[in-house]
Amino acid sequence: MTTPQAHSDEARERVLRAAGIDPNRVPEHVAVIMDGNGRWAKRRGEARVFGHAHGVESVRATVEAARECGVRHLTLYAFSTENWNRPKEEVDALMDLLVQSLVRETRELASKGVRLRTIGDVSSLPKACQNELIRAQEDFTGEVHLDLILALSYSAKWEMVEAIRGMMQDGLRQDEILPSTIDKYLQTADLPDPELMIRTSGEHRISNFMLWQLAYAEFHFTSVLWPDFRREHFFEAIRDFQNRERRFGAVPNLPQT
Ligand code: IPE
Ligand code: IPE
Ligand code: MG
């Protein structure tokens, strides 16, 4: 007899296969640079904030698509250290949007097994954001299907400086500093490295995002602007990933001669 869970897993696998995705080779960790909100708004003759507000729907769709695919960890680059240099009105609007979205969405996310966490200098966020983040994380109980990691006031260089300070503070000896040690001192200590990084909006750069963790990630760049990004675009990125040959510096997998 099949259990309801096994039944829904089978149904999900059928949907993925029909979409050209192999359910057994889905990346465990996907990271996304959500970019293009300002341009999306500008094309409509609106203020940049309008684009950010519409980007929330894309976050919803992406979380749902990742869950459907069986991705375990999804990191969304929501606000970089450098984004503090934007006009105050835009920064304030982004912070307000974050609070509103946390208030509106997190209970529903939790009920679907989506557990929220953050990377970045959360202490630099306004108190209201910090409080909502704490509440959202405390609210979660139950089984985890997907870890949703929001990169907030994050930059890879900031993270590396923090890691080096941490190692020095702990008095680590030179011979104790190995790649695996550095892994442990980064914000992503208990997470696998992303196998796939997606950037929207046609920009081909990583803008201070996960410099260490993306060492061997596959990159998928799309010209779609973030507020237009939906399930089909996420699926396209997964298909693209599954068509890559990941070599890790070894020779390609050619038939032996
Ligand atoms: C991404 O969209 C959102 C954040 C960086 C917070 P942008 O605001 O960078 O939009 P563009 O790149 O100017 O179009
Ligand atoms: C990267 O986008 C940061 C986030 C998506 C949060 P930006 O729009 O800030 O990056 P640049 O300025 O184009 O490199
Ligand atoms: Mg941008």
Of the bound ligands, which one is closest to the alpha carbon of residue 82?
2
How many Cβ atoms from other residues are within 10 Å of residue 52's Cβ? Answer: 23
Mean pLDDT computed over 158-185:
98
Q: What is the mean pLDDT of residues 14-31?
A: 98
pLDDT of residue 1: 54
Q: Is 35 a catalytic residue?
A: yes
Q: What's the average model confidence in pLDDT over 98-109?
A: 95
Confidence of residue 29 (pLDDT cuts 50, 70, 90): very high
- Where does the pLDDT of residue 60 fall: very low under 50, low under 70, confident under 90, or very high at 90 and above? very high
**pLDDT at residue 252, rounded to an integer:** 82
Q: Is the pLDDT of residue 4 over 90?
A: no
Residue 63 predicted with pLDDT over 80: yes
CA–CA gap between residue 121 and residue 53 (Å, rounded) = 23
Question: What's the whole-number mean pLDDT along residues 67-71?
Answer: 97
Query: For the chain, what is the mean pLDDT?
Result: 96
Mean pLDDT of 94-109: 96
Q: Tell me how far apart the alpha carbons of residues 77 and 105 are, in angstroms, rounded to a whole number.
A: 18
For residue 256, the model assigns a pLDDT of: 62
Which residue's CA is the nearest one to ligand 1's atom 12? 36
Q: CA–CA distance from 131 to each of 103, 105, 126, 220, 250 (Å)?
A: 11, 15, 9, 34, 47
The predicted model gives 108-115 an average pLDDT of 95
Identify which ligand lies nearest to the alpha carbon of 208: 2
Q: Could you give all domains of the chain from N- to C-terminal order, each with its CATH number?
A: 24-242 (3.40.1180.10)
Q: What is the pLDDT, as a whole number, of residue 253? A: 74
Write down the pLDDT at residue 139: 82
Residue 33 CA, ligand 3 centroid: distance in Å: 9
pLDDT, position 170? 98
82 alpha carbon – ligand 3 mean position (Å)? 11
Ligand 1 pocket, mutate which of 37, 83, 222 (most atoms under 8 A from CB): 37
The candidate with the shortest Cα–Cα distance to 84, out of 210, 221, 208, 225, is 208
Backbone angles phi, psi at 256, to 5 degrees: -65, 140
Compute the average pLDDT of residues 4-24. 92
Residues with C-beta less than 6 Å from any ligand 2 atom = 33-35, 77-80, 83, 203, 205, 207
Chain mean position to CA 33: 7
Ligand 3 centroid–CA 36 distance in Å is 5
pLDDT band at 34 (very low <50, low <70, confident <90, very high): very high
The size of the chain, in residues, is: 257
* 153 Rama sector, left if φ>0, alpha if ψ -120 to 50, beta otherwise: left
